[in-house]
Chain A
Amino acid sequence: MDVNEIKSQFPIFSKKINGKPLVYLDSSNSSQKPLSVINRLNDFYRNEFSNIGRSIHSLAVNATNKFEETRTSVKNFINAKFNEEIIFTKNATEAINLIATTFGQQNIKEGDEIIISELEHHSNYVPWHFLREIKKAVIKFAPINEDGDIIIEKLKELITPKTKIIAITHLSNVTGTIVPIKEIVEIAHKKKIPVLVDGCQSVPHIKVDVTDLDCDFYAFSGHKVYGPTGVGILYAKKKWLEKLPPFIGGGAMISEVKKDNIIYAPLPEKYEAGTMPTAEVITFNESIKFMKSIGIDSLIEHEKEITNYALEKLKKINSVKIIGNPKNKAGVIAFTIKGIHPHDIATILDEDGVAIRAGHHCCQIFHEKMNLTATARASIGVYNTKDDIDILCKAIENCRKIFDLK
């Protein structure tokens, strides 16, 4: 993989930030977009725009076909079995809410238990908290160890006959922990408990095969996979989508509407009410093509090389502490510098054109567990180079200088 060639596909890298070349280390938050994706969105609006599904004119037929082509591409990309198992939402958060709400409505009653983990993003906690409030469900947290790995034995012990669902992240957006989902699914399925996976950070960075994982639900966001904002994906096994009630009601999700009764549309439309982010979904097909053009194996290898390089260099800087040391780690590096608050780090780095994130990264449970209020986070994307890491480390040295650290 030629990283410079790949980087050259991203127009943003020709821009200067505070007079410096952009070093973008915030891909866990959202990735930058290659020209093919930007052009596709523009092109669709210029030459092909129409809403989908509702009209029979040529533009509508074309748009509908293209929309469905993205569905097929997504299905193939994550190796789902059927097109109708792929539901488009506005982001992963909405996808998780869709399942928490509909599954909760149908299957959760007072005292029932939901297991999540201490690594979860707020998007995979708050929707379940709603069920705690509305249904008086109980939420149990699978604990993590100092390294940031979920303790599988402890998770097992949390399972009781009242456990109704396990919702867990595939890849932590703080520690980069790659969670052994397949193992967790096997444990859960032995007890007939369905598993929802938050795949926001995994789809852009590791191989995802939902058939192999055998999970029941898998959620992710297009904007972290080099795609446009406004596209979320929910994969769910067909048996669930057929059985669960609809989520949002309105046009497109119905097949027959009478004064005394409504019949819902078949899958996948049952879960795609109202006008969808048509242009963005169609554009997302280009993001998948981009991922495929690199090849997931080359991408993993490249990001691993950059991650290892970054870890080695950061560890050599005095007073830098890397948070977590998981068995399997992807390119998400949370760190602290003794004597400098993460917010100050982010401001100073920005002056050098280095974009990182500071705060709790929507993972307050994790930070509390680790006795931290905030961390700085550098996260790696396919376009990052060793030069980027060198610039990051130099900028960190500058922080230390400003704060007069020894």
Chain B
Amino acid sequence: MDLKQLYQDIILEHGKSPRNLGKCEGYSHEAKGYNPLCGDKVHVYIKLNSEKKVEGLTFEGEGCAISLASASIMTELVKGKSFDEAMDIMNAFLNMIKNTSEIQSKHLDEDQKTKLMSLSGVKQFPMRVKCATLSWHTLVSALEKKKEEVNTEKVD
């Protein structure tokens, strides 16, 4: 196992200064996520416009460097995408964490893929996978407007 793989500079940097923190103005969708094992919390706010495009995407949260960095990077990459594109990126991310070792999505450019790959270090740390995936599950929940809070013990 390699700590440097897990705590890459970009992760530490996003963990320290997360982007898009707070509530976005005029948000239309929101959802909360919770990891009962460690107490990590995230609250995702989305502003979908009439063309179902993610015009605003922000989050509030408490958690470890991995979970904050993951949420922060997610907001950067998904903002500006359509509903379907956002779902595709989310699936590509979860697929990378669980199965493949690369990001397969035509909605991200190479730089964006590299950025997302910085989270791949968690694959070697099974106890930390949920830290990386919490905000993404919560994003889906918000997009689908599920009322129930995301609980990492109930999703896989």
Contacts and interface: CB of A to CB of B under 8 A. Distances in A.
A404 B64 contact: no
A402 B1 contact: no
Contacts of A367: 39
A351 B64 contact: no
A347 B12 CA distance: 14
Contacts of A339: 16
A373 B39 contact: yes
A18 B16 CA distance: 28
B128 interface: yes
Interface string A331-363: 000000001111110011001000000111000
Interface of B: 1, 3, 6-7, 12, 16, 37-41, 62-66, 125, 127-128, 131
A347 B128 contact: yes
A395 B39 CA distance: 24
A403 interface: yes
B125 A360 contact: no
B16 to A, nearest CB: 8
B102 to A, nearest CB: 24
A374 interface: yes
Interface of A is mostly: mixed
B127 to A, nearest CB: 8
B37 A373 contact: no
Contacts of B63: 341, 343, 373
Contact of B7 (A358, A364, A402): A402
Given A341-B63, A341-B64, A347 B41 contact: no
Contacts of A340: 65
Contacts of A373: 39-41, 62-63
A404 B13 CA distance: 10
B39 A347 contact: no
Nearest to A375: B39
A403 B16 CA distance: 9
A377 to B, nearest CB: 13
A348 B64 contact: no
B2 to A, nearest CB: 9
Contacts of B39: 359-360, 364, 367, 373-374
B64 A343 contact: yes
A402 B3 contact: yes
A404 B16 CA distance: 11
Contacts of B127: 347
Contact of B1 (A343, A351, A374, A404): A351
A18 B3 CA distance: 12
A348 B11 CA distance: 15
A359 B66 contact: no
Contact of B3 (A341, A348, A359): A348
Nearest to A340: B65
Given A343-B131, A344-B66, 19 more contacts: A18-B1, A340-B65, A341-B63, A341-B64, A343-B38, A343-B63, A343-B66, A343-B128, A344-B64, A344-B65, A347-B128, A348-B7, A358-B38, A360-B38, A373-B41, A373-B62, A402-B3, A402-B7, A403-B12
Contact of A402 (B12, B38, B66, B128): B12
A171 B39 CA distance: 23
B118 to A, nearest CB: 15
Contacts of A341: 63-65
Nearest to A404: B12
Interface in A242-296: none
A340 B11 CA distance: 13
Contacts of A18: 1
A142 B89 CA distance: 49
Contacts of B131: 343
B125 A347 contact: yes
